[in-house]
């Protein structure tokens, strides 16, 4: 029956138009990986900052670099997105918002809430 199988062999995720719920799900996984991989770096920075005043000042200097600030902004987005998307997935675990329309609405709500929260946090940091 190899001739009757019309499924694609290689999925090109760039060409596939995912619904908003799929995008939220993928970004939830990506943000979780980013948060997990950042744990050793934060433990290292914390340990360095506790060694002494000179090491603390070096950590503070390192945190002022452009690439580190960019990573911290991505990490902040990861925390905010993972929080709201996680709440959405917890609701689905309790059978809330399972219909197609409700699922789409909650996915857009996650995007809106994460955008508002991220902008408010960045505004509070910059001011």
Average pLDDT (84-89) is 96
Q: Determine the pLDDT at residue 29.
A: 96
Q: With a cut of 70, say whether residue 2 has pLDDT above it.
A: no
CA angle 106, 112, 114 (to 5 degrees): 100
How far lies 6's CA from each of 10, 14, 47, in Å?
A: 12, 20, 55
User: Is the torsion defined by CA of 113, 111, 30, 48 positive or negative?
Assistant: negative
Distance in angstroms (rounded) separating the CA atoms of residues 57 and 70? 20
Contacts of 89 (CB under 8 A, 6+ apart): 28
pLDDT at residue 18, rounded to an integer: 84
Contacts of 119 (CB under 8 A, 6+ apart): none
Ordered by start, the domain boundaries in the chain are 19-126
Per the listing, tokens 């744990």 go with 39
Write down the CATH number for the domain with range 19-126. Answer: 1.20.1300.10
Residue 71 pLDDT > 70: yes
Q: Which residue has the tokens 């997935």?
A: 89
Mean pLDDT of 93-105: 92
């Amino acid at each position: 029956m190899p001739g009757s199988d019309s499924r694609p062999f290689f999925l090109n995720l760039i060409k596939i138009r995912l619904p908003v719920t799929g995008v939220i799900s993928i970004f939830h996984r990506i943000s979780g990986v980013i948060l997990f991989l950042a744990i050793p770096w934060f433990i290292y920075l914390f340990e360095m900052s506790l060694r002494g005043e000179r090491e603390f000042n070096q950590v503070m200097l390192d945190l002022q670099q452009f690439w580190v600030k960019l990573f911290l902004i991505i990490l902040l987005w990861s925390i905010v997105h993972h929080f709201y998307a996680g709440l959405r997935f917890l609701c689905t675990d309790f059978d809330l918002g399972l219909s197609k329309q409700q699922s789409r609405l909650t996915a857009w709500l996650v995007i809106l809430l994460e955008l508002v929260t991220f902008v408010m946090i960045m505004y509070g940091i910059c001011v």
